[in-house]
Structure 1
Amino acid sequence: MRSELDEKVKSGMEVGGYRIDRKLGQGGFGGVYLAWRDGRPSALKFIHLESVGDWGWRELFVMLPQQSAHVVKLRGHLRWPEEQPEYLVLVMEYVPGMTLYGWAREHNPCAREVVEKLLPLVRSLRGLHAQGVFHRDLKGDNVLVRETDGAPVLVDFGAGSSPLVPRVTKGVLPPASLYYRSPESLAFSRLEGRVPGARYRYAETDEVYALGVLLYVLLTDVYPFTGPDAALVEGILAGAPTPPHERNFRVPKTLSHLCMRMLAREPGERVPGMEALCEELAVLLQEAREAPGWERPLCFDWMEEERTTEDFLPEGGEIDPEAWLAKWKDKKPRRGRRPMAVPARSHRERRVLPALVALGALGLGVVAVMYPWAREGELEAPPAWEVAWTDQDGMAVAGPGAPPALSPNQKRAPCTAGLELEINGGCWLSIVHTTPACPPQTVAYEGRCLVRVAKPQPVPMSVDAGGPSSPP
């Protein structure tokens, strides 16, 4: 669905002397576009002045003094259109590359590589905190891995704070994703949320906690706490996540213990700040260079035969959730480049090709008679083992050795542990039937009858902080 901004900012047009190339993404406070000027690329962030108000100017002043190689640089700003300005446009350096989480999924790093990515990021945060600046929205999607040198770069200071800019947050808590909120911030919101004028005092320990969640995801590919918002809040407040090395036995215990200390329920038991975290990560990096166990990829790749979260649900009988989770905790999702699946073929091919294969058994003469008819539909019979079966919607079900294809509205991983299966990056339910007698609208794969899990409806990802809504 195109936004009002997409209708106004189009490829090829000029904005303040910058030629728009394409849209890079959409954030909570504005859209970001790749643009060129004098042969140099820049990232232009359009922030709607009327709906966002002072938040855009806050982001400008928070970014203005930053000079770290691992923090996105601000090059300038302008108001657009010039005649009747509707948007504040931040001109930033363009950082080609994928997000930190995307890098982990694509690259399947070892524990040493995770620490090497985290350490320069922590050093940059140490410099920001020395200036009294907090990012307040730390997560893997707000860290880019630069394509040219693999360096992590912190981006999106839309929720940032600085002692040099006035406070504009209207709610108890600053805007942030619920997954990364500290237990003490949620406890404050619960106790003081209805008190007029109550404001949570964000601290460095909150930033340490958010970074701990980020590290946990890099090590295990799941959040420390999951579920609907209410259950997620209760889990964070209880503060007892499964240690990373128990969820994923490839995680070194020393790194797992550090992650757990970053996620400690009580701020006083947490790593006190970025300075101490830098020192501990530097020690672990030295350990990593001397211990071969740190070089093993953290997750199975897609070509390994060992079982992961794609485990079998028992057919019939009741599931013991505790026993199921105890078995699952040592399983890991897959990362790395996916193998190429056999493409789906049309319904016409599905009808013609099996006929050709069957008639081939009767003799080449019959096939020769049928050949012109096959060519008339521009079909060319492949070897029988390359034919991909399709379901009633024309989606690929499974070729020999190929996983079933995903539908556009299907839920993607991570899947619900103990209930859904993750296959080919999507979520499936296994029903109590055995192949080949699978019911209609199901997929037969590896001796199971599978049903696609539909994408869930969008749910709020952050506690209402009274901040501005997304620009139109």
Structure 2
Amino acid sequence: MLERASPQLSPGTNINGLVVEELVGVGGWGTVYRARREDGATYALKFIPLGHAVDRALREFAMLLRVRHRNLVQVVSLGVWPEEAPEYLCLQLGFVEGERLDVWWKKHTPDARGAAGKVLQLARGLTAAHAAGVVHRDVKEANIIVRASDGEAVLVDFGSGTYEEAATLTRGPLAPGTPSYMSPEALRFAQEKSGKAGAHYRASPADDLYALGVILYRMATGKRPFEVREPGDEEAVLEEEAPAPHLLNPRVPGPLSAVCMRLLEKEPSARHASMAELCTVLEAQLAAADASWSVPLLEPATQPGGPAPFQEKAPSVPRRARRRVGQLAALAGVAACLGAAAWVYAPTQAATPAAVAQVAALPPPPPVEAQASDAGVQPP
């Protein structure tokens, strides 16, 4: 939770040459405004109170500097605000114009091609992230924007993410995230290590794969495979098997249903070996798709009959008593040092010089996967 009130910025406020247009949202790690540059380019400005989540904000900046891809939000710079008496860190990010995936999906009710296509786009972005050692850890519809300009899915908000060399910032066994999208291995770890000091789960690409399975399941059936809202709900994730999507909704092609169920396997070794492998599988399925893939998966909510409409708060899937037998068993690379960014990070009492020195000493990042312009970010 934010310890300090979010900055109250009126439309027209000038932040280092960017004119604030409107508040986009307030979350646990920061407040986001949309702002526009003189030439019309739009950006997201994420404000994080100094002394609250500075380390997490620096880590998010570090992660996003490591990878550029058209299906991932892009970072532009890091600064402080106000300049004369800093109270906030400010991340300048590329603004992704569009709708959240769940909002877009309910409005357009696409077919199996659309569902597979959106997951494929996300998997491509996550392939680049994982190659750079980055795990998002909170992949869900609320963190995915369908870009208006080309209809592609873009993963945003890496505030809960981590990378291979990152220090642990969480006190409990699990990092911040959304329980209904957390993998069985993460929930099992939290259950087994509850109350044990110093126990911290280290997320892997398999966690992001599982979350994509939850998203695909929800797009295909209108429901999540399991809802984890209260103590004890995680038992279903650990012990029960959700009905396959094609059993709940006959409009779901069998091959796509099989991909979804593999992503939801209880053991990470039973899922796809990597995001790259998932991309290969989905590309092959889309290339071979027949007419059945062109039928809308769900009926609009205004029409009776057909599969259940996509719902913002989907009801829990009925738990099945069948148990599975023999269940198949990260601040690095801030390269373009802060001095190379459009703004310069100014240390304060809350953000220690030692932390800044650690960031500035990191080695340069690997070559980016795509040009910034391909990712919807205008050079500052």
The TM-score normalised by the length of structure 1 is 0.63
The equivalent of 2:140 in structure 1 is 139
Task: Give the Cα separation in 2 of the matches to 1:192 and 1:302.
Answer: 42
- Shift, 1:233, TM fit: 0.9
Question: Matched residue of 1:56: which SS?
Answer: helix
The equivalent of 2:53 in structure 1 is 52
The equivalent of 2:291 in structure 1 is 292
**For 1:39-438, what aligned pairs fall within 5 Å after superposition?**
39-163=40-164, 165-226=166-227, 228-288=229-289, 291-302=290-301, 304-305=303-304, 307-308=305-306, 331-333=307-309, 414=314
The TM-score normalised by the length of structure 2 is 0.78
- Shift, 1:150, TM fit: 0.6
Query: RCO higher in 1 or 2 (8 Å CA, sep ≥ 6)?
Result: 2
Q: Contact 2:145/2:155 (CA < 8 Å) preserved in 1?
A: yes
Cα 1:4/1:191, change in 2 over 3 Å: closer
- Shift, 1:236, TM fit: 0.9
Task: Give the Cα separation in 2 of the matches to 1:211 and 1:334.
Answer: 16
Aligned partner of 1:149: which letter?
Answer: D
CA-to-partner distance for each residue in 1:66-96, whole Å, 9 max, x for gaps?
A: 2111111111121011122111111111111
CA-to-partner distance for each residue in 1:432-454, whole Å, 9 max, x for gaps?
A: xxxxxxxxxxxxxxxxxxxxxxx
What is the aligned-residue RMSD (CA, Å)?
Answer: 2.1
The equivalent of 1:20 in structure 2 is 20
Task: Give the Cα separation in 1 of the matches to 2:197 and 2:228.
Answer: 30
Q: Contact 1:63/1:73 (CA < 8 Å) preserved in 2?
A: yes
Q: Contact 2:43/2:95 (CA < 8 Å) preserved in 1?
A: yes
Question: Matched residue of 2:233: which SS?
Answer: helix
Q: Contact 2:228/2:234 (CA < 8 Å) preserved in 1?
A: no
Q: Contact 1:183/1:237 (CA < 8 Å) preserved in 2?
A: yes
Question: Matched residue of 1:76: which SS?
Answer: strand
The equivalent of 2:339 in structure 1 is none
Aligned partner of 1:292: which letter?
Answer: A
Question: Matched residue of 2:134: which SS?
Answer: coil
* Structure 2: 5+ residue stretches without partners: 319-380
Task: Calculate percent identity across the aligned residue pairs.
Answer: 37
Aligned partner of 2:300: which letter?
Answer: D
CA-to-partner distance for each residue in 1:229-256, whole Å, 9 max, x for gaps?
A: 2242111111411111111111111111
Q: Contact 1:75/1:92 (CA < 8 Å) preserved in 2?
A: yes
Task: Give the Cα separation in 1 of the matches to 2:73 and 2:313.
Answer: 30
CA-to-partner distance for each residue in 1:142-165, whole Å, 9 max, x for gaps?
A: 111100111111100001112354
Q: Contact 2:98/2:148 (CA < 8 Å) preserved in 1?
A: yes
- Shift, 1:218, TM fit: 1.1
Task: Give the Cα separation in 2 of the matches to 1:35 and 1:300.
Answer: 37
- Shift, 1:140, TM fit: 1.2
Aligned partner of 1:300: which letter?
Answer: E
* Structure 1: 5+ residue stretches without partners: 309-330, 336-411, 419-472
Cα 1:127/1:413, change in 2 over 3 Å: closer
Task: Give the Cα separation in 1 of the matches to 2:122 and 2:99.
Answer: 16
Task: Give the Cα separation in 2 of the matches to 1:174 and 1:6.
Answer: 23
CA-to-partner distance for each residue in 1:255-284, whole Å, 9 max, x for gaps?
A: 111101110112222222212111111111
- Shift, 1:416, TM fit: 6.8
Q: Contact 2:221/2:310 (CA < 8 Å) preserved in 1?
A: no
Q: Contact 2:75/2:94 (CA < 8 Å) preserved in 1?
A: yes
Q: Contact 1:172/1:200 (CA < 8 Å) preserved in 2?
A: yes
Aligned partner of 1:131: which letter?
Answer: A
Cα 1:53/1:227, change in 2 over 3 Å: closer
Q: Contact 1:239/1:264 (CA < 8 Å) preserved in 2?
A: no
Task: Give the Cα separation in 2 of the matches to 1:7 and 1:266.
Answer: 43
* Larger Cα-atom Rg: 1
- Return 222-231 or 49-58, whichever deviates more: 222-231
Question: Matched residue of 1:59: which SS?
Answer: helix
Task: Give the Cα separation in 1 of the matches to 2:121 and 2:7.
Answer: 39
Aligned partner of 2:36: which letter?
Answer: W
Aligned partner of 2:299: which letter?
Answer: F
Task: Give the Cα separation in 2 of the matches to 1:334 and 1:12.
Answer: 38
Task: Give the Cα separation in 1 of the matches to 2:315 and 2:176.
Answer: 26
Task: Give the Cα separation in 2 of the matches to 1:109 and 1:250.
Answer: 12
Aligned partner of 1:299: which letter?
Answer: L
Q: Contact 1:179/1:232 (CA < 8 Å) preserved in 2?
A: no
Q: Contact 2:218/2:310 (CA < 8 Å) preserved in 1?
A: no
CA-to-partner distance for each residue in 1:284-304, whole Å, 9 max, x for gaps?
A: 11122xx11110001112454
Aligned partner of 2:249: which letter?
Answer: N
After TM superposition, which residue ranges in structure 1, 4 or more long, deviate above 2 angstroms? 3-8, 163-167, 301-305, 412-418
Aligned partner of 1:111: which letter?
Answer: A
Cα 1:93/1:228, change in 2 over 3 Å: closer
Q: Contact 1:183/1:239 (CA < 8 Å) preserved in 2?
A: no
Q: Contact 2:180/2:229 (CA < 8 Å) preserved in 1?
A: no
- Shift, 1:170, TM fit: 2.2
Cα 1:219/1:417, change in 2 over 3 Å: closer
Paired residue total: 315
Task: Give the Cα separation in 2 of the matches to 1:415 and 1:270.
Answer: 25
Cα 1:207/1:302, change in 2 over 3 Å: closer
Cα 1:189/1:417, change in 2 over 3 Å: closer
Question: Matched residue of 1:51: which SS?
Answer: coil
Task: Give the Cα separation in 2 of the matches to 1:132 and 1:239.
Answer: 31
The equivalent of 1:365 in structure 2 is none
